Every structure is written in structure tokens, then in C-alpha cells.
Structure 1
């Protein structure tokens, strides 16, 4: 437990004074905008005597924040006056770094700076609020939330009205401007820059501490009970209290310390989010004796206790992983293990989700940090089926199948269907027959009558349920070993995550980054999403985005939309509807209207009428999860070698590779954190290292222009009325209703008669 700061107590004098100048810095982000008005009003409370409020926000929020601020100030009829202004949040800075940057630009003569989080002073009572803006003789940070470092592990301080010395504080806290460092600080993945600030201050001041913790709120529960227990006996750990109803218990069972370090990113993220974490190491390893009774340093500010199965057996010879799970202080709802760890005696519980990840994939699981809580229990719901379309390019097919085999599937079963054209050569047939698929069932379908590329793609997959997803791959495509991580991460986020992040308008997930736009009437046009978003001053130019353009070079299609496409294509090609002859232009102004043999032409029509969108990756340097080798076939004509190579460069993209694995930890020095640095995949190049919320994704239309969802949906509705002259109600995924046709049964009978 932290020691009382008795040596600091005489210097800590808190009294309110209207002449004492305090500047408050309030960061504003997307989630906090709805409650911003109340937070500003709290800071303008005359009893707090805040002299100035800086609202730190991204440029795209300036106008909205300005309107809210104007509304608040126009209603303030009190004689007390507080200056309020907007300060631009520098691009690509995380919250703590941006707050520090703003603090560095506070104009003198200010006595204190009140550093706030995006929640302002919401959770603190009036006594603690007044303390935060009070007069202090010490320049040290003073606030209600602080941590002390014991060994290498941070523990939160259960504070009261008596000052406690702290290694570092987290917002809200008050600090003298002279202690604001003039340079950037190292950002910790869990606690942002605040441990670095505490370290900087403790080295600069004679007290040798990073701050002082005082809390007048006796009901404050931010510091969990778990941190009051002896860490050497704690089997379940949590860093902070999650919101009620949003906390789960995770049991992590891995063979070795190296495995745990490799899996550190998702474990530490769950811990930082306030979830209960239990860890068991199951392998007989003499080096584990060095961590017995202490915590394992996984990341600089993430040290968690791990139980060791061999230690448990010293007191309980019958100890097993299943028994350990049964004896945890809190019953887990999610268990993560490698397949070799047997928990069969406990895995039958209906309330338990048991996720098994192969040992070799653990170092590449940092993307699990982005999974929303709601999606963990749906881990096994999405079922990806891979459909390969091939004809007579055996070398290309071998390259594709090799990249498929080398990918990480994180323990999921994936069924593979290889669709072979009637004209396939003998070498291709031998390759298909000999190919061994290690991740699930392999099916081979060979056409008896030559069908061409359109039926080959459209008939290559049909969903068996609304949790069935199809990845269609032509044989000149090659895949990144991390393609499935991107696909599953996106599915769990936008199909099984929060309700507000799910939309029926999303029809699929592209593995390929757009480098060219193909649908403009004038022809191919170079495209760079990051340059486009930078020019529009988007704070995250590398953000994934939504585009109406369907991808044919590696993409996952959703079940409802693919069924609907089948219905649409059947009617479109039947030529039985007078309002929809085969030469009718459905989506005006697009180059695809001239395509004669492409299934995408008709999918684009459906996308236009519905206002559908596909999710696209947007990583640096066009780093992609699939690439197209642009080999001669249905859509690539013979040309000169020079022209071919020039065109191929326009479409060939670099594939995202796995990061180098850990070279091994020195058993004599465990758990030295400098040796325990887990690998990081380029998947974590996402804005703020997480998938954006649905309403934060930019939207592009079929020409690559920035639009809104409402605009493209209205375009489709307007075109529907123009084409079919009906005002009957439309229904989701219902083609007869969309095309103003008779009911399903009448239409089916008409087609049978024809």
C-alpha cells in the first residue's frame, strides 16, 4: 500500500480564491460531444473560480464545439467570467500528448493547470472538484487518481483526504505550469503519457515523487478492491472498474512465459479495460521458478500475476487446468487457450466461450485488442468459406494456394471450394487433386459445360446461413498471411460488435487496397485514399473507409447481400421484365455499363440502387491483404511485354507480412521488461490502434468522391423511381420489392412458364 505523504502535508494548502488563476484543459472526442455542454457548465461554475477553459478538439469538430460553447456562454448571466477558447488537437497525437501540447502553450500568468480527461469532472463530488482548483503551495500534480509502482507493477492508490505520495497521476489533476515538460513524453499503451510525466517530475523535484493523491469523495470506487489485496495471492486481476454490465472474466491458459509475452497485447488491453483476468501457465519449465510469487511484466505498465500449474500441484496433486478454472474467484465467461491445453471437464458450460488459438499464431494476435466486448462471445459465429476460381493457369493457382496455406487462421475451421472450369488443363487438374488443405474440408467442383467467368464467380459460393461469409478468389490473386486477421477483425467489429457499429448497408470486406478507380467514364484514374483524406484535413488519413465499389481481387461478401445479388441477377438476365431490358443502364455515368462479361457490372447496379458500401483497408504504402498479378485471362488481353509490365505495376501491391517473432527470453533475467517486447503487426497501424466506430468511417461513392450514407441511399431511391415508376415500399434484401415486381410466388410461376 502507498505511504502517507506526511512530509508533503505542510506544503499542501487548498483554499479557494477568485484571484488564483487556473486554466482547465478539456479534451473533446467523438464520444464526449453529446455531454460537452454539461461539462463546460461544470467548469464555469462560479464556486470553482476557473479562469480559463481550453477545449482541445480535432479541427473537424471546431464548428460543432463552437456552437455548443456559444450556447453555454449565451445562457451564462452570472457576474463571474471565465475565458473559453478552442485549441486545435494536433493531427495523429494521442490524447495525453495532445493535452501536454496544449499545456505547453498556456499563456502566463497562470498559477495552475487543471488537466482533465474527456469525461471532465463528471464522476467527482463537489469537494474533490474544489480541491482540484484550489491553492497549493506545492507545484506537484495533485488529484484524486494516482498509482504507486511496487517493483515493476503499478497499483492504484485508495485515497482519502490525507495526502498520499504517488509515482504518477492520471487525469483529473492540477499541476503548476513550471513542471510541464517542454518536450514530448513516451506514451505508455495503458496509461498514456502519465507514467512518463510522473517519472520526469520525480527526477526534477527534491520530493522524489510524481504527484500527490487526495480524494474527498468517500464513495469513489475508481480504484478496484482487487488492488487492495496482496498481489502475490491474487488469481484474478483487474486494473480498474469497468462500467456496470460491461465487465467480463477471462481465463488465459498458455503453456509458457514466452507464449504469455507473445500474447501480451490482447491480455493487457483486456486488463486495462477493467475486465477480470486469470492466467495459468501449464508447461513444465524450470525457468518459471523465477516468477513464482511475483507479477510478470508484459508491457511497461502491465504487470500481471500468473499462476503456475506445477506450483499448484505441490499443494494439490490433482490440480488440472479445468480444476483451476472451477476454483477461480469469479467464474469466467471466456477462456482463451492453445488447443493442447485440456479444459474438457469445464468446457461444456453453455455460458462459456472457449477460444483455442494455435501456439504458432499467438505472436500475431495484437489485433484482438480491437475486438469489442460484445464480439468475444461470437468468436465462432462467422464461418468463412473460401472459393477459388481457376481454369488453365496452374502456376498462378499454386501461388494462390500456397499463400492460403501459409496464412494464420487462429484456430478457425475454414472450408475450401475449388471451382474448375470445363476447359482446365491436365496440370491444373493434377494440382487440384493433390492439394492438401489443413484448415478444414476441401471440395472440388468442375463444370461440365464451359460457363465463363460470370457464372464461375456467381455460382462459386452460396451462403448456408446469415453467419456464412464467402471469400471469392480468382487464381491470379495472392494473399497476405494476415488476411484472415483483417477479415475476422472487421467481421467481429461490424457484424457482431455494438449495435451502433452494425449496418445492413455493409455488403463486404475488401482485402485489396484501391490504387486505381475503374468506374469513371474517362477511364482508369489513380487513387490514394490517404492523400484524399489528408487534403480534407481528416485527423487520421490512414483510416479504413467505406466505398461503393465492389472488389473482385480478394474480398469477403456477406450472406444477405449475396443472396439478394443472385435474385437480382436471375431477373436481370432473364430479360422477362419490360422495364429492365439487358441493355438498360441502371447506374448512370459509369464505365462499367460498357462491360459485357463481368459479374461486377450487375453487382454495381445493385449497389447503386441500394446505396450499399464495402469496407476497405487503408494502411501506409498501399500495404494490402491481397494483390492481383494481372495475368492474361478473361479480363486481361495479350499485349506487348513492356505495356504489360507497366500495367501490372499499377495493380501489384505489397502484402502485409507477419512481424519477426521473439528470439527468446533470457531465463536468467526474467521478467526483465526490456526482454519481453512482444511483436507488433502492421494491423495496429489503425487510428488509435483500434477499428473506428461505424459513424467515424469515411464514405466514398462509385466515382471515389466523398459522400454520406444518406446521399448514396437517396441516389438509389431516386433512380429506382425513375426506372420502374412505382412508389411501392421497398423492403431490405427483397428484389421483387426493389424492382416493383409482383410477389415472390407470382414471379416464380411466371419464370417457370417462360
Structure 2
């Protein structure tokens, strides 16, 4: 019987299979299966490599480690901290603005050093001084009190007759010696947080010389987070920054607030300018943050720049090259008014904390000039007790006044080396505060540019002097500033040291003779030269009038009112006065404000 005929599809399948068998010697997996196989082999090879590579680093574990218990978790507790914090809460510590400052310490060496500084500060009773022991030592607290002269018990901290009045806080955690490095970091942060929440300190003070770097980093970090002022005391701070212990909590809170820049109007003596810039660079500064923010050098437009000066200015890089500005104005020759405008326009600011230090190019600064400026500025402008009374202080001079208003002689200096107040300005070496300088800008601008409306003619003008004024004063901006200072009762603080903080060199040849010998620069700290090693209270500072004669605050106010009435038609009872504004000084003939 014949077999049935094959289907066409069967013939095609057999032909295709035979062709595959003939052309391929082995069976090929599908593409997806091949990828999975390659991946498996890669994992196997990587595992083998890891095992072989790690075998060379294996060590035989200690048999005891299998039976060693894990390290116990030690909770962070401060058993001795809360009791002392609770004692100061009722002393106004919970208020945002208080008198509290805290010295924070992380080891015994730093704690002993800071205890001495804290005791010096506590003697002046201007702040509530706290000392926080945040280390991990196990020394006895009573021994620390006895060695460092602190009150023997907590109750004696409020008794002024028993040791220095420093509030001691034991901020060491329980079982401190058992804590790991990570737990010590957490404990330090927690202690700082507790102190901040209870005391609200105006400032933290830390010793950067004897503290470990990790501790300093934590204190810096937490100070920023808690928005607290941090004062870092480094090498020689006990001697160089001894004046810091005289400041109150308000001044310490503003430690980083006041800033200044330097403006120098150069003349023909290029060598003197180099000497001045070197003295600025070599001076002592409390910290890098207290360097001048900018140094502006205004060159004389009528004198060619000496090649040596050009090379020196190119290489000069203090405080930084980017903070140095060189200007060469375009001025008409022999025009005093244009020169005065150029001088006044060289500085202007909207900040209430950024001042300007004008320096004569022939000046040489003492190394202590910045310390003195910062000390007096913090004391009289940022103190909780004296900032309001000292609102009439428009600047601080680094030298005694060279002459009085007539230019004949200098005013009589105090016999006690104490600073004194004098209304006349100086630009040889003097710091001007921003609010008063911007007010002077407005005052000078309105005098030079009166209103264009003839019906509102400005009748304000400096009163004629009853004595002869020197030509140098009448032709410069000093006369206009003096007029404003007299109308407002403003004064400048002048030192009376025998040695000076700024020496202005005279270019008179030695054989020609000088009117008086140049004062020596102050080489040691000025603090010991002050009466009782402290600045006087504002109400007790000696004052001089425009003629250099002794006066008092009541007489200054009366003289200011009289002078104001002599230069303007504005009436005091009807013209409103706004601080550091000049609206009340410019009126028409009817007494109406023209601004």
C-alpha cells in the first residue's frame, strides 16, 4: 500500500532542519539566554576575585571577642548643670537682652586660663560672667574653685566679698570618661544648647590656643546656629586684649559689628606714603575680622606717580589685594572748593556700623591704633549704658589736636592721660562715624546747592567768627563740618597721652628748626596709661569748647542752641528734629523748611 503524500509544510520543515544541521556544528541558545549566561559568569568571577583578594587580609579573630559584650549605651545626663542654670534664670537671664557672657572651656588647661580672665572681667561689675566647664576630666570641682580663686560654694558667687563673682557651671556629662569620641561631640553640643536656652548669653568666649580643634569647630558651629557672638582668644590675649575685660555685655555682643576702611589722600612725598602703609600692615589687630575692609589711596592729580611708588603699590597686598583701591581724580588746579568736594566724596556709606579712618600721608601709626579705636568705639557706641549718652560723639582721633580754632595753639590737655572731648575735627588721623559723616554730606550738599526756587531762598550759612580763622580752615571742608558740629553739639574724642597713637611727620628740615618736637609712637599697651586702667564714663569725660577752654555738657548744649539760631531762620519749637537729618537747619525767611 502506498504511503500518503507528504504535506508541503512538512517538506519545508525538514528542508530547513537539514540546512541548519549542515551549517552549524553545535546548538546556539537564543539571544536572551546568552545574555543571562554571561551575566552569571561575570558574577561568579567577581565573587572569586573578591574572595581571593580578601583572603590576604584576613586575620585570625581573638577567641575572646566572640564572648565580649557590646559597648553599653550611656545616656547623656548633666547632673550638676541644671541646678546652677536654674539659679541664674531669676536674675534676668531669660530676657533677650541681658548682662550674661559665658566663657566655655573643653579642658582643664583652658579652664584655668579662662578663669583668670573671667575674674578680671567680673571685678568691673558690668556683666554677669559665667564659666562653663564642658570637658571630660574627672577633677573635683571644689579643687578647681580653690586653685583658681573662685568662690568656695555656689552661694558665695553672689557675695562680692568672697572671691571673684563668676558663676561656675559644671557642664560635664555623667560618666564622661566612658564616652566615645562621637558621644563626646553630641554631649558638647547638648551642653551648649542647654546653656543658651537658660542663660541667653550676649557672647561666648573661647580659648583657641589651648582647646582641641574639634571642640572649637563645635563651638563655632553652634554659635552661628544660635546666633550668638563668639569671641576667640588666642595667643597673648591675656595681655593684648586686657581691655576686653572692661567692656559690658552690650559691647561684647557687638564684637564683630563695627568695621572701618582707610582713606589716604596722597601728596608729593611718596616715601612717607610707603611708611604709612607699612605701619598699617605691621599693626596689631584683635583678629583678622578687624582688619580694615578697604584701603583707598587718592593720588595727587598734579604730581606724576614715581616708579618706586608704583612698584610698591603693585606689590602691597594688605589686607588683600582686592581690598586696595587706587584713585586719581580730575580736579582743576588751585580750586579749594573742588579739592574739598573730592575729599568729602571719597567716602559714603549706608551702613550704621562702617566708619572711615582718614589718614594724612605723612602719618605713621602705632601698632596699637586698631585696639584703641575698637576699644573706644565699643565702649561709647555699643555699650548698654553709654551708647545713648554718647550719640553726640562723631569720631575718634589718634592724636591730640594740633591747634585750636584760631590755629594759634593747642587746647589744654587733661593732667591724667584721660581722653577728652573737643568739637573741632581733624583729618590727619581720625575715625569718623557713618551717621555723622552722612549728615555732613547732606549739610554740605545743601549749602553748595541751594534750592532753585527764589521764593524759598535758603538763609542757612555759617555764622561769622568773632576772631580770625586760619586760611587752611576757611578754605577746606573743616569749616563747614565745624559749623555743623557747633549747631548740633557734636564732639570728637581726643587722646592726651604723652606718647601718641599716630605721629604726623613734619617735612621741615632739621636745621630750620621745628615749633615743637615730634611725639614718640606708643609702643606698649595704652590701657596702663589710662587713669585706673580704664576709659572714663561718658558723663565724666573732660570737655573743651571751640576755643579750647574747659566746659561742661550743659554749656555745650546752650552754645549749640545759640549757634544754631545764629545760622538759620528755622524755629526750634515748630521745626521737627530728626536724628542725623538736616531738615531743621534750612528754612526760608518765614521759618518754613525749604528741603
Q: Distance in 2 between matches of 1:396 and 1:379?
A: 33
Q: Distance in 1 between matches of 2:226 and 2:470?
A: 50
Residue 477 of structure 2 is aligned to residue 613 of structure 1:
no
Structure 1: tracts of 5 or more residues without a match: 1-232, 532-540, 632-638, 659-680, 749-754
Q: How does 1:448-467 map to 2 (within 5 A)?
A: 448-450=329-331, 454-467=340-353
Cα offset for 1:548? 0.9
Residue 395 of structure 2 is aligned to residue 508 of structure 1:
yes
Partner of 2:476: 598
Partner of 2:526: 682
Assess, with a 3 A threshold, how the Cα gap between structure 1 residues 740 and 654 changes in structure 2: closer, same or farther.
Answer: farther
Partner of 2:427: 552
Partner of 2:245: 369
Of 177, 182, 204, which aligns to 1:335?
204
Partner of 1:518: 404
Of 507, 510, 515, which aligns to 1:647?
515
Q: Distance in 1 between matches of 2:271 and 2:185?
A: 47
Deviation digits for residues 130-160 of structure 1, max 9, x if unmatched? xxxxxxxxxxxxxxxxxxxxxxxxxxxxxxx
Deviation digits for residues 448-505 of structure 1, max 9, x if unmatched? 4147753453222212311111111122112222222221122222211125543321
Secondary structure of 1:560 counterpart: helix
Assess, with a 3 A threshold, how the Cα gap between structure 1 residues 365 and 740 changes in structure 2: closer, same or farther.
Answer: same
Cα offset for 1:326? 3.0
Deviation digits for residues 61-83 of structure 1, max 9, x if unmatched? xxxxxxxxxxxxxxxxxxxxxxx
Q: How does 1:211-222 map to 2 (within 5 A)?
A: none
Q: How does 1:569-588 map to 2 (within 5 A)?
A: 569-574=444-449, 579=459, 585-588=463-466
Partner of 2:296: 418
Query: Are the aligned partners of 1:609 and 1:713 in contact in 2 as well (CA < 8 Å)?
Result: no
Deviation digits for residues 157-200 of structure 1, max 9, x if unmatched? xxxxxxxxxxxxxxxxxxxxxxxxxxxxxxxxxxxxxxxxxxxx
Partner of 2:180: 317
Secondary structure of 1:348 counterpart: helix
If asked which structure has higher relative contact order (CA below 8 Å, sep 6+), I would say 2
Q: Distance in 2 between matches of 1:528 and 1:296?
A: 49
Query: Are the aligned partners of 1:457 and 1:472 in contact in 2 as well (CA < 8 Å)?
Result: no
Of 554, 560, 565, which aligns to 1:716?
560
Structure with the higher fraction of residues in helix conformation: 2
Q: How does 1:123-522 map to 2 (within 5 A)?
A: 244-245=92-93, 246-253=98-105, 257=109, 261=113, 264-265=116-117, 268-270=120-122, 273=125, 274-279=128-133, 294-295=144-145, 314-318=177-181, 323-324=187-188, 326-327=190-191, 330-331=195-196, 333=201, 334-337=203-206, 341-343=216-218, 344-359=220-235, 361=237, 363-411=239-287, 412-413=289-290, 414-421=292-299, 422=301, 423=303, 424-438=305-319, 442-450=323-331, 454-502=340-388, 503-514=390-401, 516-520=402-406
Query: Are the aligned partners of 1:280 and 1:307 in contact in 2 as well (CA < 8 Å)?
Result: yes
Secondary structure of 1:342 counterpart: helix
How many residues get paired?
461
Secondary structure of 1:415 counterpart: coil
Assess, with a 3 A threshold, how the Cα gap between structure 1 residues 517 and 595 changes in structure 2: closer, same or farther.
Answer: closer
Query: Are the aligned partners of 2:102 and 2:204 in contact in 1 as well (CA < 8 Å)?
Result: yes
Cα offset for 1:313? 7.1
Q: Distance in 2 between matches of 1:401 and 1:322?
A: 47
Residue 566 of structure 2 is aligned to residue 566 of structure 1:
no
Cα offset for 1:602? 2.0
Q: Distance in 2 between matches of 1:511 and 1:592?
A: 23
Of 507, 530, 543, which aligns to 1:699?
543
Deviation digits for residues 78-120 of structure 1, max 9, x if unmatched? xxxxxxxxxxxxxxxxxxxxxxxxxxxxxxxxxxxxxxxxxxx
Deviation digits for residues 338-367 of structure 1, max 9, x if unmatched? 566212442233342222344355531110
Assess, with a 3 A threshold, how the Cα gap between structure 1 residues 308 and 737 changes in structure 2: closer, same or farther.
Answer: closer
Of 480, 493, 501, which aligns to 1:625?
501
Give the TM-score normalised by the residue count of structure 1: 0.53
Q: Distance in 1 between matches of 2:263 and 2:474?
A: 23
Q: Distance in 2 between matches of 1:596 and 1:557?
A: 20
Q: How does 1:64-143 map to 2 (within 5 A)?
A: none
Q: Distance in 2 between matches of 1:247 and 1:602?
A: 41
Q: Which moved more, 1:556-565 or 1:252-261?
A: 252-261
Q: Distance in 2 between matches of 1:587 and 1:312?
A: 78
Cα offset for 1:415? 0.7
Deviation digits for residues 240-269 of structure 1, max 9, x if unmatched? 989645541403348994896499445531
Structure 2: tracts of 5 or more residues without a match: 1-79, 151-162, 333-337, 452-456
Partner of 2:587: 740
Q: Distance in 2 between matches of 1:259 and 1:372?
A: 21
Q: Distance in 2 between matches of 1:254 and 1:589?
A: 65
Assess, with a 3 A threshold, how the Cα gap between structure 1 residues 738 and 249 changes in structure 2: closer, same or farther.
Answer: same
Query: Are the aligned partners of 2:459 and 2:588 in contact in 1 as well (CA < 8 Å)?
Result: no
Q: Which moved more, 1:406-415 or 1:603-612?
A: 406-415
Cα offset for 1:563? 0.7
Assess, with a 3 A threshold, how the Cα gap between structure 1 residues 251 and 628 changes in structure 2: closer, same or farther.
Answer: same
Partner of 1:167: none
Q: Distance in 1 between matches of 2:377 and 2:282?
A: 21
Cα offset for 1:433? 2.2
Cα offset for 1:400? 1.4
Q: Which has the larger radius of gyration?
A: 2
Cα offset for 1:306? 11
Cα offset for 1:612? 0.8
Deviation digits for residues 301-356 of structure 1, max 9, x if unmatched? 669889999x9974323265784353266336222235662124422333422223
Cα offset for 1:627? 1.8
Query: Are the aligned partners of 2:357 and 2:431 in contact in 1 as well (CA < 8 Å)?
Result: yes
Q: Distance in 2 between matches of 1:256 and 1:456?
A: 57
Secondary structure of 1:494 counterpart: helix
Secondary structure of 1:627 counterpart: strand
Q: Distance in 2 between matches of 1:511 and 1:237?
A: 45
Cα offset for 1:526? 4.6
Q: Distance in 1 between matches of 2:282 and 2:170?
A: 34
Secondary structure of 2:284 counterpart: coil
Assess, with a 3 A threshold, how the Cα gap between structure 1 residues 574 and 733 changes in structure 2: closer, same or farther.
Answer: same
Deviation digits for residues 367-418 of structure 1, max 9, x if unmatched? 0111122222222221222223224433212221222122232222431222
